[in-house]
Chains A and B, each alone.
Chain A
């Protein structure tokens, strides 16, 4: 089955000029614009991270005052969470690939899709406005009562996050409708690629959890503007209520961040091992299980906030439950590799990085879910290292893996494999140097978000900062060869890696309507035993 047509124009050639991008309804162009924005946000958040790591080289002031330091880590967190990692995989790769993978012409609501991009831009403007109006210094969690009293611009950035939330909700609504109603003939639920399943689970959380964040941030804004008082103890309110509200969204939100990454993993492991996925249904259902459990664990952020012991015990138990579906996925990916014919291209190196780092991140999450240990480790660098191992070691690695995997499909160009491998190695090493030292100093009691510290922690801080420089070199190298690929890269074949899912049946880049012939699905998505690899001629050897 080859759906390739070399005579037609691809989606980038059908129209040229800035305007053709700004008013486009094509999911592929919208995905690429999202990609541009999330990568810019990642760059900016990364610069803030480098600056704050630099300041932490010494317990005394080097370049920034304590307040500037607070603003730096707040902006780093807020930009990375709201502008980068929440939209990263779903809005960029997901937008581009979802219709391709289910054999559709476009998402269900193309205009809504474009609207969500513009809403994202408006939200971003409000976030950046905060930089001019006195950058916010509350931490990305905006905890009351500090956030309702600080003189920095809380309103602007929370309004930005509120607006960004709606961009995320609309993407979720769009994806749910698309996955339900737009699948090609023959694509039953269990013939969908697993990336699609993970986007579905993500969309459910986006639609059901994000509005709670929206109302929470709105209440915080009203608290500051009108003094409604519900979070202010002086007025009879309860500041811990804010934490409940905030984490009711923000814990599911960390699964918004990791679930699409897990979907990318399933795509990478099958293609680069040339094997059918082990335990398809279990992986699919474990995505849904994670989505459901995610709504019931928010209290583990409040173990030391004075919630009842009984509630804390329940939340601790439920938190352990998340480990089960997560482990099911990891074991299934591992089993898929068994007896596979593995090729070590760059995307697969990111897959392996994810496997190592996500396991460390996951296991340390189990430590933190245990009540007695959490009381000791709460608000230390151990927590910082834990979520960076999950979010960066997990999601960012998967994002980069997916980016390298689908790059030839998106842009029709290859990148320099040698440089890409070098960069992957640098990122992996730099990441571990940066954050493993944080595990150690956290377990020794170094609190997070502190501007100054006891001298005994300085060696770990120095190691961590040097690690951040290695990371930076890795990322700049990546930016270099990716830009080179766009300008001078070799033309990509339709199926460089030998993937089976539908996007590899069409050209690189795909035509405007994705497929010249409407695909009809007869096999499981990764059935290497019974299916021929599409467009096998151009495959890299």
Chain B
């Protein structure tokens, strides 16, 4: 039921005593979940480390096929989106509904821009045959160059899926926020999606130098 300022009052779930306990619990759960996300990607980073250690020259040769300019552009998109996300959370905490929606929409657009750039990068790799070994037809100095691209596609692909999931979550926030569900007394989902979004950003901040800026 909407109150007169256009916000919907939040009802604390039956198994919590206070709204504060509910918020703190959600936050702890989210951090635990982010912990597992970190370990999930860490397996891939270990694989990257092992093969870069085994074939350092091949990695340097292969990475020249990536466009650092596109990678840098995407880094700017994601870092900016982290900023707009933080501002979205802040606006929710201050009950500034319209501002919050603007920031969330900006975040969504930046995420879309990231995926569009990624699409063009992937298209170029497909075109030149820089793919995992089953379809690899690219040219290079090393015959096991496909290993680099196998890792490249797994790393950026799984990261891309995380971006897409994040966009879904942000869209969900926009719909609920538009109904007036988020305000100073209740902004838990905005904050949680925010935490998730920063992790997605953080993973990219490691991926960018490791894939695009070596050698």
Tell me, rounded to whole Å, the shortest Cβ–Cβ distance linking B149 to chain A.
Answer: 8
Take A229-B146, A236-B147 as given contacts and tell me if A208 and B47 are in contact as well, using a CB distance cutoff of 8 Å. Answer: no
Check A110 against B15 for contact (C-beta < 8 Å). yes
Take A176-B32, A177-B28, A238-B50 as given contacts and tell me if A229 and B44 are in contact as well, using a CB distance cutoff of 8 Å. Answer: no
Check B147 against A208 for contact (C-beta < 8 Å). no
Check B132 against A227 for contact (C-beta < 8 Å). yes
> Contacts of A177 on B, CB cut-off 8 Å?
25-26, 28-29, 32
Residues 213-244 of A, flagged 1 when their CB comes within 8 A of B and 0 if not, give 01110110010011111100001111001000
Given A176-B29, A180-B28, A219-B47, 12 new contacts (CB under 8 A): A104-B15, A108-B29, A109-B25, A110-B13, A110-B15, A181-B24, A212-B43, A226-B150, A227-B133, A228-B151, A230-B150, A230-B151
Take A105-B14, A219-B47 as given contacts and tell me if A227 and B150 are in contact as well, using a CB distance cutoff of 8 Å. Answer: yes
Is A317 located at the chain interface by the 8 A CB criterion?
Answer: no
> Contacts of B185 on A, CB cut-off 8 Å?
none
Is A207 located at the chain interface by the 8 A CB criterion?
Answer: yes
Take A105-B14, A227-B150 as given contacts and tell me if A210 and B36 are in contact as well, using a CB distance cutoff of 8 Å. Answer: yes
Check A211 against B147 for contact (C-beta < 8 Å). no
Q: Which residues of chain B from 131 to 177 have a CB within 8 Å of any chain A CB?
A: 131-135, 143-144, 146-147, 150-151, 153-154, 158
A contact residues, total (Cβ < 8 Å) = 43
> Contacts of B25 on A, CB cut-off 8 Å?
108-109, 177, 180-182
In Å, the complex CA distance between A228 and B36 comes to: 24
Is A384 located at the chain interface by the 8 A CB criterion?
Answer: no
Take A212-B40, A214-B40, A236-B147 as given contacts and tell me if A226 and B50 are in contact as well, using a CB distance cutoff of 8 Å. Answer: no
Check B146 against A173 for contact (C-beta < 8 Å). no
Check A182 against B15 for contact (C-beta < 8 Å). yes
Residue on B nearest A224 in the bound complex, by CB = B134
- Sorted from nearest, which 9 A-B pairs have the closest CB atoms? A228-B150, A236-B144, A215-B43, A211-B40, A227-B134, A105-B15, A177-B29, A227-B133, A106-B15
Select which of A106, A226, A236, A245 is within 8 A of B132 by beta carbon: A226
Is A169 located at the chain interface by the 8 A CB criterion?
Answer: yes
Total A-B pairs, Cβ < 8 A:
124
Is A172 located at the chain interface by the 8 A CB criterion?
Answer: yes
Tell me, rounded to whole Å, the shortest Cβ–Cβ distance linking A167 to chain B.
Answer: 13
Check A219 against B154 for contact (C-beta < 8 Å). yes
The main secondary structure of chain A at its interface with chain B is helix
Is A174 located at the chain interface by the 8 A CB criterion?
Answer: yes
> Contacts of A110 on B, CB cut-off 8 Å?
13, 15
Determine which residue in B13, B21, B41 has the highest number of CB atoms from chain A within 10 A of its CB, and name it. B13
Check B47 against A230 for contact (C-beta < 8 Å). yes
Is A420 located at the chain interface by the 8 A CB criterion?
Answer: no
In Å, the complex CA distance between A108 and B14 comes to: 11
Check A245 against B43 for contact (C-beta < 8 Å). yes
In Å, the complex CA distance between A108 and B33 comes to: 14
In Å, the complex CA distance between A226 and B134 comes to: 6
Check A215 against B44 for contact (C-beta < 8 Å). yes
Tell me, rounded to whole Å, the shortest Cβ–Cβ distance linking A125 to chain B.
Answer: 22
Could you write out 21 A-B pairs with CB less than 8 Å apart? A106-B15, A107-B15, A109-B25, A173-B29, A173-B32, A173-B36, A174-B29, A181-B25, A182-B25, A207-B32, A208-B39, A212-B39, A212-B40, A215-B40, A216-B43, A218-B158, A219-B47, A226-B131, A230-B51, A235-B133, A237-B147
Tell me, rounded to whole Å, the shortest Cβ–Cβ distance linking B200 to chain A.
Answer: 15
Is A209 located at the chain interface by the 8 A CB criterion?
Answer: yes
Is B35 located at the chain interface by the 8 A CB criterion?
Answer: yes
Is B67 located at the chain interface by the 8 A CB criterion?
Answer: no
Select which of A176, A237, A241 is within 8 A of B28 by beta carbon: A176
Q: Which residues of chain A from 164 to 223 have a CB within 8 Å of any chain B CB?
A: 169, 172-174, 176-177, 180-182, 207-212, 214-216, 218-219, 222
Select which of B29, B42, B50, B143 is within 8 A of A212 by beta carbon: B42
In Å, the complex CA distance between A182 and B40 comes to: 28
Is B57 located at the chain interface by the 8 A CB criterion?
Answer: no
Is B55 located at the chain interface by the 8 A CB criterion?
Answer: yes
> Contacts of A216 on B, CB cut-off 8 Å?
43
> Contacts of B50 on A, CB cut-off 8 Å?
238, 241
Take A104-B15, A108-B25 as given contacts and tell me if A208 and B150 are in contact as well, using a CB distance cutoff of 8 Å. Answer: no
Select which of A182, A210, A230 is within 8 A of B147 by beta carbon: A230
Tell me, rounded to whole Å, the shortest Cβ–Cβ distance linking A278 to chain B.
Answer: 32
Q: Which residues of chain A from 119 to 152 have a CB within 8 Å of any chain B CB?
A: none
Determine which residue in A172, A222, A226, A241 has the highest number of CB atoms from chain B within 10 A of its CB, and name it. A226
Residue on A nearest B35 in the bound complex, by CB = A207
Check A226 against B153 for contact (C-beta < 8 Å). yes
> Contacts of B21 on A, CB cut-off 8 Å?
181
In Å, the complex CA distance between A173 and B32 comes to: 6
Residues 227-266 of A, flagged 1 when their CB comes within 8 A of B and 0 if not, give 1111000011110010001001000000000000000000
> Contacts of B150 on A, CB cut-off 8 Å?
222, 226-230
Determine which residue in B25, B39, B44, B51 has the highest number of CB atoms from chain A within 10 A of its CB, and name it. B39
Determine which residue in B33, B50, B134, B150 has the highest number of CB atoms from chain A within 10 A of its CB, and name it. B150
Residue on A nearest B134 in the bound complex, by CB = A227
In Å, the complex CA distance between A334 and B151 comes to: 52
Check A173 against B134 for contact (C-beta < 8 Å). no
Determine which residue in B25, B33, B47 has the highest number of CB atoms from chain A within 10 A of its CB, and name it. B47
> Contacts of A230 on B, CB cut-off 8 Å?
47, 51, 147, 150-151
Tell me, rounded to whole Å, the shortest Cβ–Cβ distance linking B191 to chain A.
Answer: 15
In Å, the complex CA distance between A227 and B147 comes to: 9
Residues 78-122 of A, flagged 1 when their CB comes within 8 A of B and 0 if not, give 000000000000000000000000001111111010000000000
In Å, the complex CA distance between A225 and B15 comes to: 45
Residue on A nearest B145 in the bound complex, by CB = A236
Check B154 against A222 for contact (C-beta < 8 Å). yes
